[in-house]
Amino acid sequence: MEALTPQQTITALIALLAIVVSFVSLRRTSKVQEQQLRLQKKQEELTDLQLEALRKQAQLGASAPPVSVAQERADVRVDLEKVGRGDSVLHHQLGIVLPTVTSTRSGAGK
């Protein structure tokens, strides 16, 4: 077997570097996808809570005092924050209809 020429060695090193970069990118993409799935589940939970509150409000009907515009809409905000090597997902529900929900999940190496 012949020794590799300098050009072949450089080409092999570049190919190995490309493999490492691709692996790191794939891993980070999978972490982002996991976060998106968690956020989607949390959004579904908040939607269910809001529907439940609206159903209760509809059942009360005319006997309840009039509802203001501020009570009809929920202001839901979701923030993704990178903390060190870990990740945090913050959910803030700022409207009057539902109670405020703030949850964080931190973990490194997932």
Task: Give per-residue pLDDT as tens, 30-46.
Answer: 999 999 999 999 999 99
pLDDT of 98 reads 46
pLDDT of 22 reads 97
Task: Give per-residue pLDDT as tens, 49-106.
Answer: 999 988 888 888 745 555 554 455 666 677 666 666 666 666 565 655 544 445 555 5
pLDDT of 58 reads 85
Query: Which residue's structure tokens are 């509150």?
Result: 53
Task: Give the span between the Cα atoms of 63 and 47, in whole angstroms.
Answer: 25
Residues 6+ apart with CB under 8 A from 72: 97
